[in-house]
Amino acid sequence: MDSAKIQALKTRLDGIAVEDDPALVRKKSRDFYWYSPVLKRVLDSVLGEIVVTPKTEDEVVRTLAAAFALDIPVTPRGAGTGNYGQAMPLAGGMVLDLHELSGIKDIGPGYVIAEAGALLGKIDAATRAHSGQELRMFPSTHRTASIGGFIAGGSGGVGSIRWGGLRNLGNVTRTRVVTMEAHPRVLDLTGDDIAKVAHAYGTNGIITECEVPLTVAYDWIDAIIAFDGMERATAFADALGREDGILLKELSVMGPGVGHRYFSQHGRFLTADQAAVLIMVAPHSASALEAFTRRHRGETVFRSDLIDAETAKSLPPLFELTWNHTTLVARRVEPALTYLQTLYPYPDHVAAVAKMGRLIGDEMMDHLEFIRFDSNIVCSGLPLIRFTTEERLDEIIRIFEDNGCLVFNPHRYTLEEGGMKRSDLGQLAFKREVDPKGLLNPGKMIAWDNPDFDFSDPRPYLFSQPAA
């Protein structure tokens, strides 16, 4: 943008926070893309030119109208905790920072309505205080991530063992979206229409408000069950996930040594070669979990409700060692580590985990997250990888795929290459309708940029439009 355009934008956005301080712009042009050595290389120089921070939906509407009139690309961001460069402005232009749009507008039985920039942890604090409720699911960045960013760029997380993913009908009840047109419209999307903007990185509308279901908040107990060997730990976790009467919020498995080596505080509860199952269980299911653990001869090495209050207070919540936080805490110890995102083929997932372990060997350390997926208990993986070269990383991905595993490649920044979101003709038509100039988060949707895009991809995707 030349300075005339910037001035024109500032004039149109009079009264809205607009900043072009280079340090701030640089900071707001980043997310957690550096988890990936590939994205680190590719995206490191990406920069926006100006940061606009609306405080109300009206200000969002005014901002988008101005950007449309001036042909300025707009890349929205919530809290910037994504890992795939979702919030990074490939084409420069405007970073639309939504963190001030953070009001909690209504809480009722089973639901909360919050503005897009509201942090998940703040929402949970408010709903817990209001009526003992909490979000069904959240990423391990619970404290720092926004609800809008979660819906636009996430897929599930803590709670997915019970409720499935954001992809599932009912896990997001309504999204309010502002279109990128001369006169931006405000759309309330419900039912199947939510799929249009879920996990679309803000490429087809700016989410301003979200209505999501709540469930009852318990004082979840953190538990770590240790096993000799990955296979016993995986079999235990798989069987535990299938126990309909034991209420869990989280169920993950760390390969031998992972916990001991990388968990700065909880590591001391594990030996150097133990595999570990990390669990959040409701207090009234604790005795059933205990009985089930005895059946499997697991060793309960940690229970947050059985340690003294002083120690308990000094520990992070266990979920901050799961999902992508596992990668984060491991990288603090070994910065050369990176990761993959996989889905092992159901119903042979337990065997597939063992097989992939044998095939890849010491280059990989297992990290599994058990989730409910179309009602089946399946396991996804975020294995830690000792990074050597990008070629070897691609080769490892190919080995996974050749063995029937689905890989959601966290080393790509486009929706299609990331592999979670299907770009189909419906998605494309919706983008044409709400962003006719293609100004929203440009460069993230290949189907938009490439007129020869092949829509016939038979690969399964997490997020796809239901057949009409």
- Residue 20 sits in the site that holds its own copies (CB under 8 A): no
Q: Interface with its own copies includes 262 (CB under 8 A)? A: no
Binder among 13, 114, 200, 214 for its own copies (CB under 8 A): 214
**Least Å distance between CB 158 and its own copies?**
15
For position 243 contacting its own copies by CB under 8 A, the verdict is: yes
Q: Does 245 bind its own copies (CB under 8 A)?
A: yes
CB nearer to its own copies: give 74 or 246. Answer: 246
Instruction: Write the binding mask 281 to 300 for its own copies: x where contact by CB under 8 A, - elsewhere.
Output: -xxxx-xxxxxx-xx-----
Contacts to its own copies from residues 353-412, by CB under 8 A? 372-377
Binds its own copies (CB under 8 A): choice among 46, 197, 246, 251? 246
Residue 171 in the binding site for its own copies (CB under 8 A): yes
Are 209 and 57 within 8 A, CB to CB?
yes
Among 2, 219, 391, 454, binds its own copies (CB under 8 A): 219
Gyration radius of the chain over CA positions: 22
Stretch in the footprint of its own copies (CB under 8 A) among 91-99, 145-153, 198-206, 243-251: 243-251
Please tell me whether residue 305 binds its own copies under the rule CB under 8 A.
no
Residues 6+ apart with CB under 8 A from 1: 9, 49, 50, 72, 92, 93
Residue 129 touches its own copies, criterion: CB under 8 A: no
Quick check: 428 and 447 in contact, CB under 8 A?
yes
216 forms part of the interface with its own copies (CB under 8 A): yes
Q: Which is nearer to its own copies, 4 or 468 (CB)?
A: 468
Distance CA 373, CA 317 (A): 25
Burial grade of 301 (CB within 10 A; 0-12, 13-18, 19 or more): middle
The structure tokens listed for 200 are: 């679309």
Among 82, 154, 164, 298, binds its own copies (CB under 8 A): 164
Segment near its own copies (CB under 8 A), from 86-94, 165-173, 228-236, 415-423? 165-173
Residues 154 and 409: beta-carbon distance below 8 Å = no
Regarding 249 and contact with its own copies (CB under 8 A), the answer is no
Q: Which span (143-151, 158-166, 381-389, 449-457) binds its own copies, by CB under 8 A?
A: 158-166
> Residue 241 Cβ, how far from its own copies at the closest point, in Å?
7
Q: Using an 8 Å Cβ cutoff, are 439 and 202 in contact?
A: no
**32/163 with CB nearer its own copies:** 163
Quote the tokens at residue 306: 């059985």
Angle at which helix 286-295 crosses helix 230-241, to 10 degrees, equals 140
CA 13/CA 386 separation, integer angstroms = 47
CB of 211 to its own copies, least distance (A): 9
Amino acid at position 459, single letter: R
Contact 382, 339 (CB under 8 A): yes
Which of residues 24, 186, 187, 215 is near its own copies by CB under 8 A? 215
**Of the candidates 4, 23, 309, 467, which one interacts with its own copies according to CB under 8 A?**
467
Phi, psi dihedrals of residue 375, rounded to the nearest 5°? 80, -10
Task: Give the DSSP per-residue string, 307-369.
Answer: S-HHHHHHSPPGGGGSTHHHHHHHHHH-TTEEE--EEPPTTSHHHHHHHHHHHHGGGEE-EEE
DSSP state of 27: H
Shortest separation between residue 103's beta carbon and its own copies, angstroms: 20
* Residues at the contact surface with its own copies, assessed by CB under 8 A: 109-111, 131-132, 136, 162-165, 168-171, 173-174, 190-192, 213-216, 218-219, 241-247, 282-285, 287-292, 294-295, 372-377, 466-467
